[in-house]
Chain A
Amino acid sequence: MIEELIPKVKQMIIDSLRIDGMSPDEIETDAPLFGEGLGLDSIDALQLVVAMEKEFGVVVPDAATGSTVFASVRSMAGYIAEHRK
């Protein structure tokens, strides 16, 4: 389930954050998304929260949860798999 979600999560990141010129394969599954890695910040986090809710019906209620969920693409996929309705 998680492995199936990973390419979809990568595409969602690219689309919602409008990362031009990047393909899903270029995003490392286990690399940190914030700070290093893609270098995302709290503005990006809210954009991802909205995208996750819209695309997968999954709610990230606060930044504390978000810091765990958005640790990597794999953790995002894991959270979606666990909370998807």
Chain B
Amino acid sequence: MICWMFPGQPVAFADTPVNDPEFQKIALLCQETTGFNPLESCTSASDLSQSVRLQLFGVCVSLYRAKVLARQGSVPDVIAEHSMGIYASLAASGATDDVTAIELAWRIGVCMARMGMQREYALGCIIGLTRVPLEAIVANNGIYIANYNTSRHFLLAGERENVAAALAEATASGAFSASVFPCDAPLHTPRIEEIAGELRRIVADYRFYEPRIPLVEHITQTTLTAAAIPRFMVEELSRPVYWETTYRALRSRKVTHFQEVGIGSALSKFNRWIDSES
């Protein structure tokens, strides 16, 4: 049983398949829809924030990789998504088309970017600490755990200076590594509820179809229906990603092969870690 896993936002513009006509087609679609061309990622659409451009870049590469896999004859029995991987996963499942996936990523990204004009936010990547001490650290610093990726891989989100303080505390508490990334908004935290009304209005502009391939979401590991998609798309931005639970749920559904459909191999590495503890 095969699962295609769609990863979240990349941290850099990397591995661009510049010479493949299939990617060029998706890049053009993105440019026509949003003004951003992933083939000119560093210079294109400078009015968009770096986070929005990275999100669009990630969506385009995932859409492209899904097409390449399909061309190679890979057919998923189930689809899973992590964070911003939701957009391309919706298209791959048949719940929407490529243009809608790109447009949703763009409009939601721009909406979240407005939060970043009021305050400076960041994401913090913590490797090595376990959940309990980390939960105490985030509480001390008024921030949140945004991704529960494995027993020892977490992503924090909140205001930049608080994230920096939490990373210092985590390092002093024995974290193996701690790194910070700028972002527009406190992703996957309750703070996103400040813009939930606007997000709901964006999502309400689109029609979603029943996924042809079961799409498992990362909060409660249920299979999304067309009716549940709009609510999930807003809710997922204000709640954490539970990747370890999602992976274990997929395993219990008898998935034997996992194919990462996007940039890098972070999800495959998280899976490897989870397997090593099983």
Contact = CB atoms under 8 A, between A and B. Distances in A.
Interface of A: 16-18, 41-47, 49-50, 61-63, 66
B67 interface: no
B176 A43 contact: no
SS class of chain A's interface: helix, strand, loop or mixed?
Answer: helix
Interface stretch (B78-86, B98-106, B267-275): B267-275
B127 interface: yes
B276 A43 contact: no
B46 interface: no
A18 B268 CA distance: 11
19 contacts: A16-B276, A17-B272, A18-B272, A41-B269, A42-B127, A42-B176, A43-B153, A43-B266, A43-B273, A44-B269, A45-B176, A46-B128, A46-B152, A46-B153, A47-B273, A49-B176, A62-B176, A63-B178, A66-B176
B262 to A, nearest CB: 15
Contacts of A17: 272
A46 B176 contact: yes
A83 B128 CA distance: 21
Contact of B272 (A42, A47, A61, A62): A47
A45 B276 CA distance: 14
B177 interface: yes
A26 B161 CA distance: 44
Nearest to A18: B272
A46 B272 contact: no
B74 interface: no
Nearest to B177: A63
Contacts of A43: 127, 153, 266, 269-270, 273
B98 to A, nearest CB: 29
A63 B118 CA distance: 34
A44 to B, nearest CB: 7
B161 to A, nearest CB: 22
Nearest to A54: B276
Nearest to B271: A18
